[in-house]
Amino acid sequence: MEKHADSTATASIREERQDDVDKAYEFAKQHAVGPLGDDDNKRILRKIDHNLLPLMIITYTLNFMDKNALSYSANFGLRADNHLVGNQYNWASGSIFYLAYMVSQPIVARLIVRFPIGRFVAIATMLWGAVLMTTAASRSFASLMTIRAILGCLESCINPAFIVISSQWWTREEQPLRISYWYLGNSIGQVCGGLLGYGIAHITNQTVPNWAWFFLIFGAITIFYGGFLFYYLPDSPLNARWLSEHDRALAVERVRANRTGVENHVWKWSQFKECMLDVQCWILVATFFLDDIPAGGVGSFGSIVINGFGYDALYSTLLLVPLGVIQAICVLFGGFMTRRFKNIRTWLIAGCQIPALIGAVLLYTLPRENQRALLGSYYVVQTHGIVGTLTMSLVSSNFAGYTKKATASSMMYVAYCVGQVVAPQLFIPSEDPVYKSAFLAAFICFALCILFSIALRLYLIWENRRRDNLALAEGELHNSGNEFLDLTDKQQKAVFRYVL
């Protein structure tokens, strides 16, 4: 029944309106630059890395710092000035932000397909910076919840957009390391946020409370940067101002072999349905969800947990800095390992959970007077930060079709949001400062992540072998020229193989 699936899919696409085909299809036909030489390939890759990666890293850094500004300011009077009691901080810090983030994902998926992605990211960045600044005016639980909900909607645009951008510009082999680079924004944000927070905490002004300066300064920086992004971030290789017309054609040619498309502004319900029924997608969603329950606790309660180990409020903010350094080392390690060894991503996801699991067990069992051991265990838990980059790289590499990729990216971040919503609720106020339930949940999640990553590897191995057997049974099929026809991975069974 599947014998002529690829050729039939290609023919049906060609019969559709030309607008339904990926924009790179016509661009590649017009320029016909042919296969790249090694020198051209390296030259174009350098240009992309030097011009695009810094934009993505800075955007992701600001994204992390801005959403966690509430955590930095929590120990400096924000809770008292906003009259927060019981678990109201839990809701304001993480739960409402990520509920809004989650609800926005179906809309974000449609907007990514419908509008130029570079302009979309830039406008979202400027808007969330403006909303962040209004937090300084909040003096009640209701106003804080409203601001955090709007902020969650706006910040939710970045992650799915960046997965699509990564697949537009880099080959499947290059994507894990590049995603690791821009994901370093989390680590850089952790370090910069801790250092800036330490400095901002020393500002004394009788008119503006200490905690409000976090939002005013972070928000102003983001608005300014968003304006620059609007000018400089391209929508795809087809309109990058820092590439000549010939180099744009070479940039498109570089990613031809990905077979995952470059740019298409037509929403395709068939690809949406295929994504919703894809086993691989749901395993990745489950893995991402489980990983983000512990991550959400660090984001919302990082300084509070360290403060609970016995360190004062100011020093607790400074002690957040090593969290970012550890995460950066782990993320870079994962990126370089995927470049050095083929099909290692799922093994790395499983392996990084082991030290994190040990750290969570120690946090659950160590006596509270053992201050340094508790802090060290908390740092060890951060080794699981590699999971985010690797699962995102699997979505970028293994999902073809512009609508399907946008849908899968949004599903991942729905899972991310659910994890982030659940996480603060596990920090039960009556357990302060021990938070036994939170750390018990963390090591259960790490153990389940190991099982899901192994299950995903076995499934992908099975699917690749099935496709190999199918290709042998069918004989040689001619598949050149259809790389930019916006076909999904399941419509290209004869030629598309999943990375592990």
Q: Provide the terminal-to-terminal Cα distance of the chain, rounded to the nearest Å.
A: 27
- Residue 1 pLDDT greater than 60, yes or no: no
pLDDT surpassing 90 at residue 194: no
Quote the pLDDT of residue 459: 94
Q: Using 50, 70 and 90 to split pLDDT, how confident is the model at 296?
A: low
What is the C-alpha separation between 258 and 256, in angstroms, rounded? 5
Higher pLDDT, 420 or 484: 420
Euclidean distance between CA atoms 195 and 201, whole angstroms: 10
pLDDT in the model for residue 14: 45
Q: 129 or 479, which is more confident? A: 129
Q: What percent of the chain has pLDDT over 70?
A: 88
Mean predicted confidence (pLDDT) in 119-128? 95
Confidence grade of residue 455 (pLDDT, cut at 50, 70, 90): very high
**Has residue 299 got a pLDDT over 60?**
no
Predicted local confidence at residue 346, as pLDDT: 93
* Residue 11 pLDDT: 46
219 pLDDT above the threshold of 90: yes
According to the per-residue pLDDT averaged within each range, which of 122-136, 188-202, 362-376, 401-415 is highest?
Answer: 122-136
pLDDT score of 484: 65
Model confidence at 298, pLDDT cuts 50, 70, 90, reads low
Q: What is the mean pLDDT of residues 63-69?
A: 88
Percent pLDDT > 90 in the chain is 27
**DSSP state letter for 16:** S
Instruction: Please state, rounded to an integer, the average pLDDT across all residues of the chain.
Output: 83
CA–CA separation, 404 and 410 (whole Å): 10
- What's the confidence (pLDDT) of residue 195? 80
Q: What is the pLDDT of residue 9?
A: 45
Give the residue, 465 or 304, on which the prediction is more confident. Answer: 465
28 has a pLDDT exceeding 70: no
Predicted local confidence at residue 23, as pLDDT: 65
Looking at residue 320, what is its pLDDT? 73
- pLDDT tens for 139-193 read 999 999 999 999 999 998 998 899 889 888 898 888 888 988 998 888 888 788 8
pLDDT category, 26, cuts 50, 70, 90? low
Cβ–Cβ contacts within 10 Å for residue 340, how many? 9
Burial pattern 130-154, b for ≥16 Cβ within 10 A else e, equals ebbbbbbebeebeebbbbbbbbbbb
More confident residue, 478 or 388: 388
What is the mean pLDDT of the segment spanning 20-31? 64
CB atoms within 10 A of CB 13: 17
Among 66-70, 90-94, 139-143, top mean pLDDT goes to: 139-143
If you search the block for the tokens 């029944």, which residue do you land on? Answer: 1
Per-residue b or e along 275-308, where b marks 16 or more CB atoms closer than 10 Å to that residue's CB: beebebbbbbbbbbbbbbbbbbbbbbbbbbbbbb
* pLDDT higher than 50, residue 7: no
pLDDT bracket for residue 262 (50, 70, 90): low
What pLDDT was estimated at residue 21?
A: 59
DSSP for 207-240 reads: SS-HHHHHHHHHHHHHHHHHHHHHHH--SSGGG-
* Per-range mean pLDDT, top range of 28-32, 200-204, 254-258, 494-498: 494-498
Give residue 476's pLDDT: 54
Interval 102-118 mean pLDDT: 88
pLDDT at 275 over 80: yes
